[in-house]
Amino acid sequence: MSIDNIIAQAVCEAVKSLYGVNFEPESITLQSTRKEFEGNLTVVVFPFLKASHKPAETTANEIGEYLKDNCEAVKSYNAIKGFLNIVVEPAFWCNMLKHIAADPDYGFKAATDDSELVMIEYSSPNTNKPLHLGHVRNNLLGYSLSLIMKANGYKVVKTNIVNDRGIHICKSMLAWEKWGNGITPEKAGKKGDHLIGDFYVMFDKHYKDEVKQLMAEGMSEDEAKEKSPLMVEARKMLQRWEAGDEEVRSVWRMMNQWVYDGFNETYRRMGVDFDKIYYESETYLEGKKKVLEGLEKGIMYRKEDGSVWADLTADGLDHKLLLRSDGTSVYMTQDIGTAKLRYQDYPIDKMIYVVGNEQNYHFQVLSLLLDKLGFKWGKDLVHFSYGMVELPEGKMKSREGTVVDADDLMDEMIRTARETSAELGKLDGCSAEEADEIARIIGLGALKYFLLKVDPRKNMMFNPKESIDFNGNTGPFIQYTYARIRSLLRKAAEAGIDYNSNYDIEPSEKEVAIIQKIADFAQVVSEAGKTYSPALVANYVYDLAKEYNQFYHDYSILREEDAATRNFRLKLSEVTGNIIRRATGLLGMEVPERM
């Protein structure tokens, strides 16, 4: 049991005994005592004033006195206004450290047979262009979230829905057929997703020229867009695709495969993966069926032009189109189909969609529709709605060439990490392979931490020139702290020091602060699971690293002459390192043994 629980419970008993009123331990406000006051934990007593009918400071003193007399963990107390500062019995801290050190899974819950199964959808790329910075935030959030849910004892299925059909793919295919001269990723020496992206851009360029040309000939802009020969041809291709035309389908299969090969390389490098991949080409017909079913049951209705709609005005929303008048499906229809297949494949208790906040409305609607159609998790589906990544010039626009490509970004981070390491002389004596590995871990760590430390719901700013930073509140700072701890422990081993016994001491204030922080890990993991927030873990591990760095700087460890104190500090370092490794692990970050 953590110290927070012990104190919270004791406070409840105190209030009950002194004033005869019941409080739940969860309702007690506990915080770490501010540095300027004496104590480790602070109880906010304002909520008890109604029960005590006494001034705040008197109430705090009475509770403090009770705790001192009745709770073994409490050594002394002081009350300032409505704040009761508690000094914990020093021996308690050493036991706490031992307890955490003995539990390699401290803070993690294992899944059991009755654990809920949560499916997490993330990434969801289109197959007509490479992954960009927005996807990187999405992928890292989704992957980290899956690790956090696992740590909270859920069974987790990571899934990806690939949007592999539609007019956008046809544009790339058409451009490739027209101007590609049979080029392949191998011949071009290019990743498949980038190659296809090039053709998509090429289509757009020629298409725009055509529109401009037609408008010069007197057409309105709308008409020109409608009548552009390229667009007409692309639409025709989509129709042939829908009809199952083998010629179109085989090109489509081939080009999609190029893209998947490219994506897989990017995913692998980023360190994310999936348990099950769905393709919209396989789910959109299911959605159509499900919608028609709903139509029969009277959940949807048909307009005179043949289009199918859902009336959501009773739920405060609008009417939503589900099938176009020509019978083809829209985005929403596909999502319904995907939901159906997923539910067939897995006994889902909880579904989390990691999708940008621009689609908040879409998921409000989807939740209602799935519920009406009888999916038991529909009403409670979680739209993990994350904010956009903005650039100094504003939003990323592929047409304006302001997209930050995922592969380029990773290259850049790793290269910068490598240069910085070399400048600092950190790579001296490393083999080329070791140097590569260290640069990779640091570069990707910097990127991951940067994107995950921000509250996922908020839009964030990414300045390509200034964001690549390795000092301060960054991934490398945390990794550096870890590497330093590992180095310290190596040195201890070389000196033949066994610090696993004889380390019972009364820790100093600074050491207590670190133990407290370490103990918080369990709380943080649980909280992150409830609020779906990797940022909580990120900010936590930074705080821990910062706290340790200050400790490291102020205290000697190996040179400490008192063996018990030295052992204690080594043990504290070891446990801190382990917690850093596991916390960063929840972010999908790696930590280096040296850097």
Segment 550 to 579, residues that bind RNA, using CB under 7 A: 550, 552-559
Supply the minimum distance, in Å, between the C-beta of residue 22 and RNA. Answer: 18
Residues with Cβ within 8 Å of residue 441, at least 6 apart in sequence: 479, 590, 591, 592, 595
Supply the minimum distance, in Å, between the C-beta of residue 134 and RNA. Answer: 12
DSSP 89: P
Residue 126 interacts with RNA (CB under 7 A): yes or no: yes
Q: Quick one: 28 or 272, whose CB is closer to RNA?
A: 28
Residue 484 interacts with RNA (CB under 7 A): yes or no: yes
- Minimal CA–CA distance to 593: which of 507, 479, 500, 501? 479
Residue 80 interacts with RNA (CB under 7 A): yes or no: yes
Supply the minimum distance, in Å, between the C-beta of residue 477 and RNA. Answer: 5
- Residue of 68, 350, 372, 457 that binds RNA (CB under 7 A): 457
Question: Which residue has tokens 């419970």?
Answer: 9
- Residue of 46, 297, 504, 510 that binds RNA (CB under 7 A): 46
Q: What are the distances in angstroms from CA 184 to CA 177, 179, 194, 251?
A: 12, 12, 11, 12
Contact 185, 195 (CB under 8 A): yes
Q: What are the distances in angstroms from CA 340 to CA 277, 309, 348?
A: 14, 19, 11
- Reduce the DSSP state of residue 159 to 3 states and report it: strand
Q: Phi and psi at residue 350, in whole multiples of 5°?
A: -145, 135
Residues between 317 and 356 with contacts to RNA, criterion CB under 7 A = 318-321, 324-326, 328, 330-331, 334
Determine the Cα–Cα distance for residues 96 and 206; give it in Å rounded to an integer: 68
- Residue of 62, 121, 193, 280 that binds RNA (CB under 7 A): 280
Residue 42 interacts with RNA (CB under 7 A): yes or no: yes
- Residue of 59, 144, 160, 163 that binds RNA (CB under 7 A): 163
Residue type, 27: S
Part in contact with RNA (CB under 7 A); list of ranges 5-13, 42-50, 246-254, 343-351 = 42-50
Residue 535 interacts with RNA (CB under 7 A): yes or no: yes
Q: Phi and psi at residue 541, in whole multiples of 5°?
A: -70, -30
Part in contact with RNA (CB under 7 A); list of ranges 74-82, 245-253, 262-270, 343-351 = 74-82
- Residue of 21, 167, 277, 493 that binds RNA (CB under 7 A): 167
Q: Quick one: 46 or 301, whose CB is closer to RNA?
A: 46
Residue type, 271: G
Q: Quick one: 108 or 552, whose CB is closer to RNA?
A: 552
Determine the Cα–Cα distance for residues 482 and 489; give it in Å rounded to an integer: 11
Part in contact with RNA (CB under 7 A); list of ranges 26-34, 151-159, 203-211, 225-233 = 26-34
Left, alpha or beta for 532 (phi > 0: left; psi -120 to 50: alpha)? left
In the chain, the largest separation of any two C-alpha atoms, in whole Å, equals: 93
Provide the CB-side half-sphere exposure for 555 (13 A, CA).
23
Question: Which residue has tokens 């020509």?
Answer: 326
Part in contact with RNA (CB under 7 A); list of ranges 37-45, 132-140, 264-272, 510-518 = 37-45
- Residue of 16, 17, 29, 563 that binds RNA (CB under 7 A): 29
Give CA 450 to chain center in angstroms.
Answer: 11
- Residue of 254, 461, 493, 563 that binds RNA (CB under 7 A): 461
Determine the Cα–Cα distance for residues 301 and 311; give it in Å rounded to an integer: 8
Supply the minimum distance, in Å, between the C-beta of residue 488 and RNA. Answer: 5
Provide the CB-side half-sphere exposure for 351 (13 A, CA).
26
Residues with Cβ within 8 Å of residue 516, at least 6 apart in sequence: 3, 32, 40
Determine the Cα–Cα distance for residues 69 and 516; give it in Å rounded to an integer: 23
- Minimal CA–CA distance to 262: which of 185, 198, 338? 185
Part in contact with RNA (CB under 7 A); list of ranges 111-119, 185-193, 261-269, 544-552 = 544-552
Residue 141 interacts with RNA (CB under 7 A): yes or no: no
Q: Quick one: 129 or 342, whose CB is closer to RNA?
A: 129
Residues with Cβ within 8 Å of residue 563, at least 6 apart in sequence: 502
Part in contact with RNA (CB under 7 A); list of ranges 32-40, 64-72, 104-112, 575-583 = 32-40
Number of residues that bind RNA (CB under 7 A): 92
Provide the CB-side half-sphere exposure for 341 (13 A, CA).
21
- Minimal CA–CA distance to 363: which of 352, 374, 350? 352
Part in contact with RNA (CB under 7 A); list of ranges 107-115, 136-144, 265-273, 462-470 = 462-470
Part in contact with RNA (CB under 7 A); list of ranges 98-106, 243-251, 258-266, 360-368 = 360-368
Residues between 489 and 518 with contacts to RNA, criterion CB under 7 A = 491
- Residue of 362, 391, 497, 581 that binds RNA (CB under 7 A): 362
Q: Which positions from 224 to 263 touch RNA by CB under 7 A, shown as an x/- string?
A: ----------------------------------------
Q: Phi and psi at residue 443, in whole multiples of 5°?
A: -60, -45
- Residue of 23, 66, 77, 83 that binds RNA (CB under 7 A): 83
Q: Which positions from 375 to 394 touch RNA by CB under 7 A, shown as an x/- string?
A: ------------xx-----x
Residues between 424 and 443 with contacts to RNA, criterion CB under 7 A = 424, 426, 438, 442
